[in-house]
Amino acid sequence: MLEALLIFMLQIVYVPVLTIRTILLVKNQAKSAAGAGLLEGIIYIISLGIVFKDLSNWMNIAAYVIGFSVGLLVGGYIEKKLAFGYVTYNVSLLERSDDLVEALRNSGFGVTVFVGEGMNSPRYRLDVVAKRSREAEFLEIIETIAPKAFLVSYEIRSFKGGHLTKGMKKKQHKQK
């Protein structure tokens, strides 16, 4: 029974570490991912070692499986709270909205405006770059000013140049 509890607890730690390691690797942070992978490997070997020691012990197997599942929920929650990285939103509007552009820029979001051809009239598209940790704030501005906007989002793996990069460099210099 004590082994099953240990396995369960190890899985609740293991799976969130696995989740974070995967995200770090996708975000080009290989050194941090390697550190998380070291911890992940240690936990994996310990918990599986206990399970494989006695495959007839159904409680250990159940603890591993249930702990893995609960760990996925915990990992998802942690990832959402950490909100690593950046996201790009394509905001499609039927009418030009200088108020929206101004509100987003004043809030520190990078905004580029495009004019395109719709079937019956011009369309306006905003490309907005935001930290994932500020996504809720961004969506609130959109909902307040342009509730009928059509939104599509993309996770950014990397970027170079632009207004946002300059702003981040200025902030880094101020912190030093």
Using CA atoms, how far residue 146 sits from 89, 110, 172, in Å, is 14, 17, 33
For residue 108, CA distances in Å to 33, 68, 82 come to 29, 39, 20
CB half-sphere exposure, 166, CA atoms < 13 A: 4
56-105 per-position pLDDT tens digit: 999 999 999 999 999 999 998 888 888 777 888 999 998 899 999 999 99
C-alpha pair distances (Å), 47 with each of 3, 14, 40, 57, 80 = 9, 9, 11, 13, 26
CATH number among 3.40.50.720, 3.40.190.10, 3.10.50.40, 3.30.70.120, domain 86-175 = 3.30.70.120
pLDDT digits (tens, 9 = 90+) for 126-160: 999 888 888 889 999 999 999 999 999 888 776 67
The CA distance from 110 to 66, in Å, is 43
